[in-house]
A and B are shown apart, each in its own frame.
Chain A
């Protein structure tokens, strides 16, 4: 098979993995070497596809032949998709060629499982080892690992990679039993725990004074959960994410809306992707990580799913109106973070500026706050919101998308422009 055809098949096979990050790697570069590559600082998105996703890494499978039968996956053994397999050298050459043209930040390599977990891991590791040791490649490498692979192989993967990941896929074992019968939540979490131990160990060794520099190891791990493939609620998904961040120290949990694939399974009928739901989960994830929210504040037994029409922070504020209005000149950082429309960066700016001045609306305007969203919830030196604003029932209605959209369509409302901006900046 021609290389181009292999690339088409094996990129197509890899595109359902949402992870694209190339940030958070240890600082390294190619100075003094014959090779190319650098990492550290924030990652770079070298292109964007019309699905709005960034393209930063060459994201391919080594092979899409797979023993497993995960029904959401185009590469499962029951699928009739055309199969292909790269040789490790082909992936090495593609990575270097693409990197030198500045198309990419590095490689994200995954693989269908062939023969056994260890056999597959060895092939994946061979690519990374050749890039690092033969070609002195210092760019970003993300390796997908298999929880059942032997610890020694996961250790090796970690040595060559900047990031390693295991996809948890679904938040419960019941979901996996139906849709991914070979996968096991407990084993995945055990492997994550092992990886976390190694990452923490290396950070500790690095901090020891006078100790020799320890051998490299990945600086973080991430995972992905499918949304909308099983019946899990947002509450269940966020609780699992919370465990991932808390107990396993993950850098990122990616949420991937289940979207139609060319090879549908009888066990999992195709549906339109719940893109707004995925978007709300990312916003909620941000609230957990940077805004000191708890899962229990975002979803509850009575309302196990996030509100699709408004963002989760606004939804929380509307449920907790007694807290508002909040005085931007007096409130603590924790309280300011609860103001809808106020992001982490602007909270820091407000805290810094108010040491020297009493903040007025003109000051807030210069910070480019989303004033329409913020105003009903805050007090400034020259602004007190009308009481009616907070108490009236139409406050929520003010933040909904224009009504004609709701009349014409029974789909969940599309995210507004403000939502798009907030996903990019992470500010809510």
Chain B
């Protein structure tokens, strides 16, 4: 049994996995750790890997995509599971394995991918940029956002934000990693505390007005809302402070509608267009009855 210590990133895992595979090291013979401190704590000495005697077998791009995504999860078992999958796909002779959603290893890795994918999707959706100023030289508006992802997904969202918000300067701050865009370059800095990001934006009030008005009190479906926008996100969404008030007031608003006296139909004022419509309607009636 050997202990392999890596950084908790896909690239670090891939490099080690390639070496191990080239040396035909069986998955059962490897203990993976992505915490260097922990390894030395237990006194185990990481075993140096001998140079590869042959090159590692090739694996499909589909697997690499899955592995990159699963690597962003935080389950400590993911490195071993990914190596086991890699082994089975190549030396294990199960090249069809990814088609087997019923396989335990495949299922587990797909589960991580799904959780990571959902986290990425929610970050795309729930990041809220706040205007902090304008760059005096370039004249570009500068925005800062705060987000708390469940997994290590910041780098995986970079392309999306860069393509969508090319024309403005922005920073997205998270507890683990921050990213910054200035129109030319994207760069990363270490994570920060919540206090580093601005609390509000001058437009939040207008946005809340919109949220309040687009809500239909006659069809309350709180569970459906929470399934897609769980409470853990609410603290960073400017509109979420309205939710309880809107729910509490909905019955009274519907009662009010039901009590309102029904309005009679009002005849149309004289209007050339309505007159033309009436003629067209009469013509279609004629043709359809012929």
Taking Cβ atoms with an 8 Å cutoff, the residues of A that contact B are 3-4, 7-9, 11-12, 14-16, 29-38, 44-55, 58-59, 67, 69, 71, 77-80, 94, 97-98, 100-103, 115-117, 136, 139, 148, 182, 184, 186-187, 257, 259-267, 269-270, 273, 275, 349, 352-353, 355-357, 359, 363-364, 366-367, 417, 420-421, 424
Contact = CB atoms under 8 A, between A and B. Distances in A.
Interface string B259-273: 011111110100111
A49 B246 contact: yes
Nearest to B245: A50
B187 interface: no
Q: Which 4 pairs across A and B sit closest by C-beta, in order of nearness?
A: A52-B224, A52-B221, A363-B102, A29-B163
Interface stretch (B42-50, B61-69, B73-81, B211-219): B211-219
B264 A262 contact: no
B60 to A, nearest CB: 15
A218 B288 CA distance: 32
B96 interface: yes
B284 A100 contact: no
Given A259-B219, A353-B100, A58 B210 contact: yes
Q: Interface size class for chain B?
A: 35 or more
Contacts of B96: 355-356
B167 interface: yes
Given A3-B206, A33-B167, A117-B273, A357 B258 contact: no
Contacts of B273: 67, 115-117
B266 A50 contact: no
Contact of B277 (A8, A50, A148, A270): A148
Interface centre among B104, B143, B207, B284 (most CB of A within 10 A): B207
B284 A261 contact: no
Interface of B: 96, 99-104, 107, 121, 124-131, 141, 143, 145, 160, 162-168, 201, 203, 205-207, 209-225, 227-229, 237, 239, 243, 246-247, 250, 254, 256-258, 260-266, 268, 271-274, 277, 280-281, 284, 288
B214 A14 contact: yes
Contacts, number: 235
Nearest to A79: B263
Nearest to A27: B163
Nearest to A40: B163
B215 to A, nearest CB: 4
Contact of A270 (B107, B129, B221, B258): B258
Contact of B227 (A35, A102, A259, A424): A424
B225 A50 contact: yes
A83 B124 CA distance: 35
A184 B281 CA distance: 7
Mostly helix, strand, loop or mixed at chain A's interface?
A: loop
Contacts of A417: 223
7 contacts: A30-B167, A51-B215, A182-B274, A265-B263, A349-B101, A366-B103, A420-B227
B110 to A, nearest CB: 10
Contacts of A117: 273
Given A4-B205, A101-B128, 18 more contacts: A35-B166, A36-B166, A36-B168, A38-B160, A47-B126, A51-B215, A51-B219, A69-B265, A101-B130, A116-B272, A259-B218, A270-B257, A273-B218, A353-B100, A355-B99, A357-B100, A366-B103, A420-B227
B167 A262 contact: no
Contacts of B104: 366
Contact of A359 (B102, B246, B271): B102
A101 B129 contact: yes
A77 B268 contact: yes
A45 B125 contact: yes
A187 B262 contact: no
Contacts of B201: 101
A80 B258 CA distance: 15
Contacts of A97: 203, 206
A420 B224 contact: yes
